[in-house]
Amino acid sequence: MNKHIINNSVIIRKAIPADLPQILKCSKTSDRFSISEYSDGFDEDDIRFWITDSRAIVIVATNDSKLIGFAYGVAISPKWFFFDAFLIIPEFQNIGVGNKMYKYLRGLCIERKMTLIQGLVKNSTNSALGYWIKQGYTRGCDLIWVEDRLNKK
């Protein structure tokens, strides 16, 4: 796996509807979004909703017009932002793209006068937990995810 060098060609920006196919493709590079027997992650309708929801923040990282990462979260309240997706494709991991994305995301939250950012990290993803701890996060309490599949038989 070739690692890339970050330079001015990595751009972090808000997502637009035209990014939908690339965000979906990027999401398929990881099993991080498969969180239950009922969910294989998200689909194009989910991403379209996020991009158009005024409470949400969806950002992308691009390198020479290729989408190499994205993050998504939503304002739970006027001061509380909760991120649910934060992913960089494997060949761009561990070279600073995540730091650049987080700095941009954090700035957007500060602009909105938010005072708390929280997020979910899959328990089996130790590298992700380590990344967030390095960013200054503290590990919250361990929780059990509960769900009710409304269209189950």
- Cα separation of 90 and 8, whole Å? 20
In degrees and rounded to multiples of 5, residue 114 shows phi and psi of -80, 150
- How confident is the model at residue 83, as a pLDDT? 85
Calculate the dihedral angle through the C-alpha atoms of 14, 84, 98, 79, rounding to the nearest 10 degrees.
Answer: 70
From the candidate CATH numbers 3.90.850.10, 3.40.630.30, 3.30.1540.20, 3.40.50.720, the one assigned to the domain spanning 10-134: 3.40.630.30
- How confident is the model at residue 138, as a pLDDT? 78
Residue ranges of domains in the chain: 10-134
Query: Which pTM does this prediction carry?
Result: 0.77
- How confident is the model at residue 147, as a pLDDT? 59
The predicted-structure confidence for 18-75, as pLDDT tens digits, reads as follows 999 999 888 877 665 544 455 556 778 888 998 999 999 999 999 988 999 999 999 9
- How confident is the model at residue 2, as a pLDDT? 41
Q: Which amino acid is at 15?
A: A
